[in-house]
Structure 1
Amino acid sequence: MKKEEIIFQLNDSIKLTASKSALKLKKHLIIVLQDLLEKDLTTAQNTLLESKINYLFNKTDFSEISTIELKKKCDELHEFLKTKLFLYPENHYTLFLGFMGLMAGLSIQSLSLIYLKGSFMNFYSGLILMFVASFVGIMLDSSIKKQGRTIRSTNYF
């Protein structure tokens, strides 16, 4: 089953979908598949992707599939895209490292792990750590975007 066929079947099944979560899941899957169609993948990557999509969605009736089963298949596709094809959602590292920097900065501020000339320095060192981690995340995301390894959807599914 090709990506174009799956997109066509998903568009048809959206009209029959009553559940909001299933509708959202199908729309995100359409966005990811359309973005994969537009990517300039090598022949080996394309073959690998087609075989994985065929394995996951072959003989799948999207109008009758349960939300839980579709979610499992989408999660498996998500892991495949990250591990085998090295494709990531936009702002993947910015969000992750920004959150980690926020947690580290808050822990330094609240637990006073670093004592530098009073409590105000703890506050500033926590803020600096938070901004440095966010900056590193932004730099990683921009390099991934330059390499063309991003998926248009901010989160997969």
Structure 2
Amino acid sequence: MSFLLELPTELIAHTVRLTSPQDFESFVLSCKTIHAAADKLIDKHNLYKRRYRHLAYNDTLHCELELLHLLASDPVVAEYVRTAALSRCQVAHDGMLPSEKWPALLNDPDGVGSIRRLVRESSSLAVANLDTNEWMQGIEDEHKTADSAYH
């Protein structure tokens, strides 16, 4: 560890940034130098731990598409999840249509593209021998159907 402590603070902070959430606290508490270098990362770690440890559809996360978009845009979120209660998609539980509420997600080709890429590269779906194109199309169709049901 003494070699690590001889590095510039920016490199120590980068090393901390690469640490898995499970090891983050132990690593940061290992010495004052590392703790000081990680100072700006501690709040984000605590926020992610609080927000994503017990994942469920709620006021900010309504459906599979949003969950996939979250994971595609910030993959480290998946490492914080310990339990997930994803039993029911709540597409319009607050009376707003998906197209009104999530225009950036539903109308942005890059946003949907990043979700498709995440699904296509999923090792879990590959192990399950699922057709990822068909699986993704089913989710998109479900949201289009839910959207048209409210028009």
Q: TM-score, normalised by structure 2?
A: 0.23
Q: Which has the higher helix share?
A: 1
